[in-house]
Structure 1
Amino acid sequence: MQHGPILNISCYLFVSLADTAALRDRLHARAEALGLKGTVLLAEEGINLFLAGPAADVNTWVAELRSDPRFAALTPKESWSEHQPFQRLKVKVKGEIIRMNRPTVRPDQAPRAPALPAATLVRWLDQGHDDDGREVVMLDTRNGFEVDHGAFDNAIDWRLHKFSDFPDALAAHRDELAGKTVVSYCTGGIRCEKAAMVLEDHGLIAWQLDGGILKYFEETGGKHYHGGCFVFDERESLAPDLTPVA
């Protein structure tokens, strides 16, 4: 259901990019011409973006981006707002689209860790175990202050200060997860996708929540989740119906 005239989109895609500088210039020019605001990050490992503007203009920009075969699989998550939540437009080239400081973790060059659909997660949490009878544990890969806005019930929270702390935290807690089905999650999926690869590297049974919390809200209404989901714009936190928390 639409709530306001401004369409907000967020999405990412791990895909190998060799022309990030040229892409930066082209994507910035088109977004600026369409009056969009937000952030687009590019790296050799892919793209990560948060943009907002009138729906027709946002959809035009996305359609042009997806006309490049490398970005055809992009599936933006949508929400609506009364006002533009971003103050400016930034298109940047970075070393990583989500910083982990582990050069060997390259989702664009490796098989994707198993992705768990929201409906399956609800069923597992309802029944108290996965389809093989193993205990399911939810592992929050977000920063501690984000978790304070809301999280899955009984989720593991290592009070991360930044995502690059995750590998060391996992090394310290790995044995606590052994023999369990670990579902990593984050806001939109990008952090838990990298995290799931590291979990697998440690020999754990790992899934990533497909599309993150925002997709879970969209498809389930937030069952087994308490509070809101912190977002990095002026709305601050979204409720399970994807409207700003009052």
Structure 2
Amino acid sequence: MFILAALYHFTPFEDPAAMQGPLQDVCRENGISGSLLIAREGINGTIAGHRAGLDTVLGYIRALPGCATLDWKESTAASQPFARMKVKLKKEIVTMGQPDVDPRAHVGNYVEPEDWNELILSEDVAVIDTRNDYEVAIGTFEGAVDPMTASFRDFPAWWEENKERFHNKRIAMFCTGGIRCEKSTNYLLGQGIEDVYHLKGGILKYLEKVPEEQSTWNGECFVFDGRVSVGHGLREGPHELCHACRRPVLPEDKARAEWEQGVSCHHCIGETTESDKTRFRERQKQIRLAAERGEQHIKVDVPVEPLG
């Protein structure tokens, strides 16, 4: 059994580049795989391993400047959900592309998972899902607005085009682990919206804390690791990943004519050229040959940029 820790923390790092190598080393030395993003605004990521190694790495991260109060959300997986460990330098630990947004200044009102249902069922509350379209497609809260954005960077433009829909409404937003709402609530406050709320700990904490029989969540929650999706109690969901487009698919989707392992699914069959598909088939061949040798092909992976 492997333990996963999903984490983020906004704190100023003076020299992220100097932190990259040592952080990569401590993860490798302790048998930890996953993805960590570091930027001048902080750290974000999901890592996985066994208890002792994970505790060592989390202790190391907590010792970084300003990270003493770092929190994380834990879950489990039957097998290692990451093929390798990556520590990447970024301009933002979750990309919104709004230079004036600073969650360290102020954010919306945190709502505990146990209080979320009461809030979102109120008639004067509009609930907005801040995640990407392919995430929303497999699960969301009852009555939530889907902005149908391809990336978080698209959210400000969507808000500008749709803000009149939410006149005289309190705004409640949610995402997978909370980090996108740290930025989106700060953004709305900067736009003059006063009553802004977000789900503390995100969907993952809600699915962990709220009993299924009391839940207003429908479907599964996409996660950026080898499990692909989780449900209530953070149990592993039924979804797999199309390694051509990296969107989630159900087992029954593999019976569709559009499915070709590693090459296409019903989501992306029309999005790639025949040249792309030929390249994907060659990659899939190398993956198969590596598996026959008992090796892990380096290109078999899940989306590596955690978006919390």
**What's the TM-score, normalizing by structure 2?**
0.74
In the aligned structure 1, how far is the partner of 2:80 from the partner of 2:61?
21
The one of 176, 190, 210 equivalent to 2:179 is 190
Kindly indicate whether residue 52 of structure 2 is the aligned counterpart of residue 60 of structure 1. no
Give 5+ residue unaligned stretches, structure 1.
Answer: none
- Quote the residue 2:157 is aligned against: 168
- Quote the residue 1:103 is aligned against: 99
The one of 7, 18, 22 equivalent to 1:22 is 18
Q: Contact (CA 8 Å) 1:174, 1:202: kept in 2 or not?
A: no
How far is 1:169 from its partner?
A: 0.1
Q: Contact (CA 8 Å) 2:113, 2:209: kept in 1 or not?
A: yes
Helix, strand or coil for the counterpart of 1:157? coil
Q: Equivalent residues in 2 for 1:40-79 (5 A)?
A: 40-68=36-64, 70-79=66-75
- Quote the residue 2:200 is aligned against: 210
Q: Equivalent residues in 2 for 1:2-21 (5 A)?
A: 5-21=1-17
- Which letter maps to 2:5? I
The one of 119, 125, 133 equivalent to 1:124 is 119
In the aligned structure 2, how far is the partner of 1:207 from the partner of 1:18?
31
- Which letter maps to 2:2? I
Mean Cα deviation higher: 59-68 or 167-176: 59-68
How far is 1:56 from its partner?
A: 1.6
Q: Contact (CA 8 Å) 2:102, 2:186: kept in 1 or not?
A: no
In the aligned structure 1, how far is the partner of 2:199 from the partner of 2:188?
13
How far is 1:202 from its partner?
A: 2.2
In the aligned structure 1, how far is the partner of 2:149 from the partner of 2:62?
34
Give 5+ residue unaligned stretches, structure 2.
Answer: 239-308
- Which letter maps to 2:138? H
How far is 1:115 from its partner?
A: 1.4
Q: Contact (CA 8 Å) 1:98, 1:190: kept in 2 or not?
A: yes
In the aligned structure 2, how far is the partner of 1:84 from the partner of 1:192?
28
Kindly indicate whether residue 219 of structure 2 is the aligned counterpart of residue 227 of structure 1. yes
- Quote the residue 2:126 is aligned against: 137
In the aligned structure 1, how far is the partner of 2:81 from the partner of 2:59?
22
Which of 1 and 2 has higher RCO (CA within 8 Å, sep 6+)? 1
How far is 1:107 from its partner?
A: 1.8
Against the structure 1 CA distance between its residues 142 and 230, is the aligned structure 2 distance closer, same or farther, given a 3 Å change threshold? Answer: same
CA deviations 1:211-239 (Å, max 9, x no partner) are 11001111213511001100111111001
Mean Cα deviation higher: 233-242 or 163-172: 233-242
In the aligned structure 2, how far is the partner of 1:119 from the partner of 1:181?
19
The one of 81, 95, 112 equivalent to 2:107 is 112
**What's the TM-score, normalizing by structure 1?**
0.91
Find the structure with the greater CA-based Rg.
2
The one of 17, 27, 33 equivalent to 1:31 is 27
Q: Contact (CA 8 Å) 2:209, 2:233: kept in 1 or not?
A: no
Paired-residue identity, %: 36
Q: Contact (CA 8 Å) 1:186, 1:213: kept in 2 or not?
A: yes
Q: Contact (CA 8 Å) 2:141, 2:218: kept in 1 or not?
A: yes
- Which letter maps to 1:221? P
Kindly indicate whether residue 74 of structure 2 is the aligned counterpart of residue 82 of structure 1. no
In the aligned structure 1, how far is the partner of 2:92 from the partner of 2:31?
26
- Which letter maps to 2:211? G
In the aligned structure 2, how far is the partner of 1:154 from the partner of 1:15?
34
Kindly indicate whether residue 227 of structure 2 is the aligned counterpart of residue 242 of structure 1. no
The runs of at least 4 consecutive aligned structure 1 residues that moved more than 3 Å come to: none
Give the number of aligned pairs: 235
Q: Contact (CA 8 Å) 1:143, 1:161: kept in 2 or not?
A: yes
Q: Relative to total residues, which structure has the larger strand share, 1 or 2? A: 1
